[in-house]
Structure 1
Amino acid sequence: MKIRKVGIKDINKLREIGKLTFAETFSSDNSEENMNEYLENGFSTEKLKAELTDKNAEFYFAELDEKVIGYLKVNVGESQTEIKAKNALEIERIYVLKEFHGKKVGQILYDKALELAQEKDVENVWLGVWEENPRAIRFYEKNGFVLFEKHVFKLGNDEQTDIMMKLEMNKKKPAANTV
């Protein structure tokens, strides 16, 4: 498996994997009408083009044998969906095809997000996760995230509660000068 940065030339693959993984994850718990509205608006070519050309947003594909099996989206600065800290990185999306759940793909994408956070020297990493998604909540708790707030996420006309979680990045202090 390899992780690679997504470029504008990948927009159709991004739209496809985005819609498919979101639908796999949330269709059974939401109305068809709300899902269709979100999928068309949230993964429109115009929206994805704007996100792909935003200097403060980055997408990465997880690929296996040239097939996209998952993806990551991170945001910094003004591109964060909500500004909760001035020096932070938001993990907006980590989605993996259902057939690859339990195969460490999500963990590898998560590790890539932390690598980016270290490169960007941020103080914390944060994200929102649907309160009805215990698998994801457990994953983030296992990785050291803690609840710090809640917010409303609109899926079509349905207002849902996202749990906001964050991870403080450990800053390495320079060694004391012993001269």
Structure 2
Amino acid sequence: MHIEPIQNEYQNQIVDLILNIQQKEFNVPITLEDQPDLLNIKDFYYQSGGFFLGAFIDGKLVGTIALVKFNAEAGAIRKMFVQKEYRGKEYNIAQQLLEKLIQYSKEKGLSNLYLGTVSILQAALRFYERNHFITIEKEALPHDFPLMRPDNVFCQLQLNPAK
């Protein structure tokens, strides 16, 4: 398995992976039209100082994670998905993706990471809790946090708590 930054050239694989998980596996009522970022990864993620990572096994995209840097000190984690067959400790893909995103965020001087998800994704919420994210109220999000319509659970991770 290897992880690398990816952009628009992987758009079809990214869309297939994410929509299959969202719509077919978890029945989240979201469409491609609700996620225009997937159609222009370079502009949406990289232009602001964020990025989009892909995890590959034998050349096949099996996991993603993205960072939207929405202000000088904060970023939003987006598009954290791992194909069902590659989840869990055996492959450890989600953990490696998250650690690379956290490392990058610290290098860029961010102090906080935020994310929104849906309450049905209980395993994802437990994963974030194990990685020291705390659940916060929607009202506690920064005013410029990029909300996604279906999200109803929000989390925060302080990267440099000593500051």
Please say if 1:101 is aligned against 2:87.
yes
In 1, Cα distance between equivalents of 2:73 and 2:26: 31
1:83 aligned partner: none
2:158 pairs with one of 120, 145, 168: 168
Q: Distance in 1 between matches of 2:35 and 2:110?
A: 28
Are residues 89 and 134 of structure 1, via their aligned partners in 2, closer, same or farther at CA, if it must alter by over 3 Å?
same
With normalisation by structure 2, the TM-score equals 0.80
- If you compute each CA radius of gyration, which structure gives the higher value, 1 or 2? 1
Q: Any unmatched runs of 5+ in structure 2?
A: 140-146
Q: Are 1:63 and 1:69, in contact at CA under 8 Å, matched by a contact in 2? A: yes
SS at match of 2:67: strand
Q: Identity over the aligned pairs, expressed in percent?
A: 24
2 CA distance for matches of 1:43 and 1:163? 18
Count residues with an aligned counterpart: 151
Structure-1 residue corresponding to 2:34: 42
Q: Residues 90-147 of structure 1, C-alpha deviation per residue, up to 9 Å, x if partnerless?
A: 1012100011111311111111110111121111111112122221111111111111
Tell whether 2:139 aligns with 1:147.
Answer: no
Aligned-partner Cα distance in 2 for 1:118–1:24 = 35
| CA distance, structure 1, for counterparts of residue 136 and residue 126 of structure 2 | 15
Higher helix share: 1
Q: State the TM-score, normalized to the length of structure 1.
A: 0.73
Q: Distance in 2 between the 1:140 and 1:168 partners?
A: 13
> Unpaired segments of 5 or more residues in structure 1?
79-85, 156-160, 174-179
